[in-house]
Amino acid sequence: MKLRTYMMLSILAIAAAMLMPQTVQAANIPAGYDYFNTDYGSVVVPGIGTIQLQGFPWPGPADPTQLFPLPSGALPAVRRWIEVQWLDPHGTVVGPESTHKVSELTLEQEEPVPYFDTIVSRKTSVDISGTGASADIPIEIVWLSLKSTDPIDIGLPFLCDAYVGLHPGGQTEGKTKLVSTEECGNSGTVDIGRKGVTTDNPSDPDFLGLPVTYDVDFIPHGMDPIPSNVVSEQEGLQAVFHGDTMSPSGQYTFIPEPATLSLLALGGLAMLRKRK
C-alpha cells in the first residue's frame, strides 16, 4: 500500500502493497500509523457467500465514521519525510554526485493523506542501521472501512449494501519483520510471513502476520450508512493476513519511513513495490 499493502483477511481478502517513494535518510523508524486505500477485494460471509468489496474511505461523500468511529490520535493523517538537497556555490540545486556541490539543505516535508479506509499502527520505534540489520515491529489494525461494490441479496424483501469494519473491543497484536538492505537503512524488506507456511498463532515466537477481527453490517441499498439503518450483521469474524505465497518468505521491498499506503485487494496475492 499506489502502495498496495498488507492485509488479506482469510475471508476478507485484502492483499498487499506498494510504499510511496521517499528520500529520507534515517534508519530509525518511529512508532506511528500507516494509512491505506483499498481498490477492491472480497469477503465470504457465512450463509450469504462471497461479497465483492471496495474502500469506503474517510473523508468521502458519506461519513464512514458513523458506522466505524476513527481511533483517537489517528488524525490528522499526514505523510512526513525529510528531503536532502545539494547546492552549488550559486545556491542552485545539483545532484548528490555533482563536483559543484558545496552545501546541503535539509527540508522537512509534509502532505495530507487525501483518502484512506484502513489504518495500521506500528506500536514501537526501531533502528535498523547496517546492511542486514533486522527488527520485529508489533503492528495492529486500528481502523477498517469497506463497502460492497453491488447490492446484496441476504434473503430479505429488499437488497442491501454490506459494510465491513473492525469488531469493537480491540484487536490482537500482530508482528512484522523489517530487514535493511543498505548500510544507512534506507531500504529493505518487510516480512509478514507466508500463508500456509507461517503459524497463525500470534503467541508463537515465530509468528509474523496481522490478525483481524471484523464485523459485516447490512443496510438497505441506497439508505444512509448509519447504525440505526443496520438490518442484519455478522459479528466477530476472524482472520490472519500473511504475505504473498508468490514472493520469497512473504517479503516485500520497503522504504523505512512513515508512509502513506494504498491497499490493493487482489484475490489474496500481494506485491509491495515503490510507487513511480
Q: Do 17 and 60 fall into the same domain?
A: yes
Choose the final residue of a domain: 65, 91, 112: 112
Residue 6: pLDDT over 90? no
- Lowest-pLDDT range, 97-101, 192-196, 234-238? 192-196
Q: How many domains, the chain?
A: 2
Least confident of 83-87, 102-106, 243-247: 243-247
Distance CA 73, CA 42 (A): 29
If asked whether residues 157 and 232 sit together in one domain, one would say yes
Instruction: Determine the average pLDDT of the residues in 111-134.
Output: 83
Residue pair 224/268 in contact by the 8 Å Cβ criterion = no
**pLDDT band of 20, cuts 50, 70, 90:** very low
Give the rounded distance of the alpha carbon of 60 from its chain centre. 18
Residue 75: per-residue pLDDT: 82
Do residue 84 and residue 191 come from a single domain?
no
- 108 in the same domain as 178: no
Q: Using DSSP, state whether 177 is helix, strand or coil.
A: strand
Instruction: Mark whether 132 and 103 lie in a shared domain.
Output: no
Are residues 227 and 238 located together in one domain of the fold?
A: yes
Domain residues for the domain of 199 are 1-77+114-276
The CA-based diameter of the chain, rounded to the nearest angstrom, is 75
Average pLDDT, the chain: 75
Q: Are residues 98 and 188 located together in one domain of the fold?
A: no
Together in a domain, 232 and 196? yes
What is residue 145's predicted lDDT score, i.e. its pLDDT?
94
Q: What is the pLDDT of residues 37-85, one digit of tens each?
A: 887 778 888 999 999 999 999 988 899 999 999 988 888 787 665 567 7
Q: Is 254's pLDDT higher than 80?
A: no
Output the pTM of the full model: 0.73
Which three cell numbers mark 188? Answer: 529493505
> Do 53 and 142 fall into the same domain?
yes
Q: Give the range among 3-17, 27-41, 102-116 with minimum mean pLDDT.
A: 3-17
Of residues 247 and 137, more confidently modeled: 137
Clarify whether residues 152 and 241 are in a common domain: yes
Residues 165 and 274 both lie in one domain: yes
Q: How far apart are CA 90 and CA 111, in angstroms?
A: 29
State which of 97, 112, 127 marks the end of a domain.
Answer: 112
Separation between Cα atoms, residue 117 and residue 46, nearest integer Å? 24
pLDDT band (50, 70, 90) for residue 221: very high
Q: Looking at the structure, do residues 82 and 205 belong to the same domain, yes or no?
A: no
